[in-house]
Amino acid sequence: MSARTLFALVVTVTLWGSAFAAIRQALHGYPAGELALLRFAIASLCLAAYGLLKGLRLPLRRDLPLLFACGLLGIAVYHVALNQGETTVAAGPACFVINTSPVFSAILARLFLGERLRAWGWAGIAVSFTGVALIGAGEGGGMRLEPGVALILLAALSSAAYFVLQKPLLARYGALEITSYTIWAGTVLLLVFAPGLAPRLVSSPASATLAAVYLGIFPAAVAYFTWTYLLARLPVTRAASLLYTIPVLAAFFAWVWLGERPSALTAIGGVVVLAGVVAVNTLGRVSGACEASRVTTVRP
């Protein structure tokens, strides 16, 4: 691995790991929908500026419905559900729960792309959801499922659906193009929250606004660029496996930035979720399965 590739890896995992704590900070001043709009309006401007410099081509008209569907699932639904879930679920546990997205991706790929799963894959799925149940109990303060966990699971499911839905686009566009088109489409759909955003920009504390700006520039725009750089230089499965460190980093940033310490039950649940995801992505898929469905990542 070259020095530049290693640097891109460190930037990607660090920025994506920090995003969950930044979301919690920004939620002190912005509701879930308004935060998503502010974040991706900033990200859209950054990607538009980069696209103009690099001469990013426009998408084909026939692909616009599919791109807007990707924007709906991969940006609008995903981030509103994740943000709302983090109003009650701490940053570290939220990252472990969203890490089930590759599990949902494997299930959807089995249903719609014809990919097969070995017994290890089904076992990994069961292990992952056992971990989610433990996190839900730990965050709920007892043996009950914290509703915020269900919303984060919805975000994970919508992300997995987005990765499966974008498969036809991969034959016509590069990763950076698809990312840009998806973010732009999702931002347009998030404009339904625009009436509520304007007054929040005036009344929200500076710390919340700065956190939202940080989310838009760094985890959304910069980290997506460095992730694309990695995908161009490493095999997809190797690149995706490197992201398993993100939940650990998310827990670290939540502790340093917000002072959040997970309960013992939540920590155990996080480890169980991660073990299940690793089993699905490394042992559970039949050789020759579609690489695209393995690229489901922890996208804060």
159-208 per-position pLDDT tens digit: 888 877 887 887 888 878 888 999 999 999 999 999 999 999 999 999 99
Q: Can you tell me which residue has the tokens 């965050």?
A: 139
C-alpha to C-alpha distance for 281 and 110, rounded to whole angstroms: 13
* Residues 92-118 pLDDT 10s: 788 777 877 666 766 776 676 666 667
DSSP state for residue 72 in the 8-state scheme: I
Complete DSSP assignment for 137-191: HHHHTSSS--HHHHHHHHHHHHHHHHHHHTGGGGGTS-HHHHHHHHHHHHHHHHG
Sign of the Cα pseudo-torsion (275, 280, 284, 285, in order): negative
**Model pLDDT, residue 294:** 47
Q: Which tokens is 107 given?
A: 């299930």
Q: What is the pLDDT of residues 203-254, one digit of tens each?
A: 999 999 999 999 999 998 888 778 777 766 766 555 666 667 777 788 888 8
User: What's the pTM value of the predicted model, to 2 decimals?
Assistant: 0.83
Percent helix, strand, coil in the chain (nearest 5)?
80, 0, 20
Q: Which long-range contacts (CB under 8 A, 24 or more apart) does 261-264 make?
A: 262/90, 262/92, 262/93, 262/138, 263/138, 263/139, 264/138
What lies within 8 Å, CB to CB, of 216 at 6+ separation is 38, 39, 40, 41, 42, 43, 46
Q: Are 26 and 215 in contact (CB under 8 A)?
A: yes
Q: How far is CA 106 from the centre of its chain?
A: 16
Which residues make Cβ contacts (< 8 Å) with residue 290, sequence separation at least 6?
A: 109, 113, 115, 167
Q: What is the mean pLDDT of the chain?
A: 81
End-to-end, the C-alpha distance of the chain in Å comes to 25
pLDDT at 29 over 90: yes
pLDDT at 290: 46
DSSP state of 46: H
Residue 137: pLDDT band (50, 70, 90) is: low
Taking residues 34-42, what's their average pLDDT? Answer: 96
Beta-carbon contacts of residue 274 (< 8 Å; ≥ 6 apart)? 96, 99, 131, 244, 247
Q: What is the pLDDT of residues 260-282, one digit of tens each?
A: 877 777 777 777 777 776 676 66
Q: Is the pLDDT of residue 143 over 90?
A: no
- Six-digit token pair at 243? 């992201």
Contact 192/18 with Cβ under 8 angstroms? Answer: no
The highest-confidence range among 13-27, 154-168, 277-291, by mean pLDDT, is 13-27
| pLDDT tier for residue 292 given thresholds of 50, 70 and 90 | very low
pLDDT for 288 equals: 46
Total residue count of the chain as it appears in this document: 300
Task: Name the range with the highest mean pLDDT among 69-73, 99-103, 287-291.
Answer: 69-73
* pLDDT for the residue 99: 74
